[in-house]
A and B are shown apart, each in its own frame.
Chain A
Amino acid sequence: AQSVTQLDSQVPVFEEAPVELRCNYSSSVSVYLFWYVQYPNQGLQLLLKYLSGSTLVKGINGFEAEFNKSQTSFHLRKPSVHISDTAEYFCAVIPSGGYQKVTFGTGTKLQVIP
């Protein structure tokens, strides 16, 4: 079984400041890793994904994440946030090899302060 831990339930940050949202996972098999964003009153949208290859993954809206296998982490970063980045962010894992059940973290609410 897989599990995902997002330790920070809320992260306030000033506009134009950098931000890092933390994600750690646990799995006995290799996994694919995802970050989703949920804007208020909307469904989840895929920000970026790691399947294999380069451990630094770039996504939409200037976000990037780095896969660290030894630390079982997949932290999300953005060098300069905007008000429009205010949303909830979910880290997720799925076992590699064609499985379908995604395990989501509990989410981190990013509040960008003007």
Chain B
Amino acid sequence: DAGVIQSPRHEVTEMGQEVTLRCKPISGHDYLFWYRQTMMRGLELLIYFNNNVPIDDSGMPEDRFSAKMPNASFSTLKIQPSEPRDSAVYFCASSSPGSLGGISYNEQFFGPGTRLTVL
């Protein structure tokens, strides 16, 4: 499997522009997560989906951020309008229930990230 795929890897845009980040999860995984990583705030969970349905979006910073998962193999994170403080690395991760010693758990597999710079 190719792992979690994210595009673009780097994005530079100007303040006020719309930005769309894309993610293709690992085939067969039924959970998808969007994270943001910054020096100041570390790794933050923005939103996660189960079977294409958003389950928890409490980490989405504000209405400028939106995420969709139209099907099991694709998700987008959109920022409109973008601001300089949105500059960060955005990670997508996917997982599927596993079992170890009779215990059910989910291991998250991370994509390489999209480095977003808003000027």
Contacts and interface: CB of A to CB of B under 8 A. Distances in A.
A70 interface: no
A51 B103 CA distance: 7
Contacts of A90: 43
A107 B112 contact: no
Contacts of B18: none
Given A41-B112, A44-B91, A51 B100 contact: yes
Interface of B: 4, 31, 33, 42-43, 45, 48, 50, 55-56, 91, 93, 95, 100-101, 103-108, 110-113
Interface of A: 32, 41-46, 49, 51-53, 90, 94, 96, 98, 100-102, 104-107
7 contacts: A32-B105, A41-B112, A42-B113, A43-B4, A43-B91, A94-B105, A100-B56
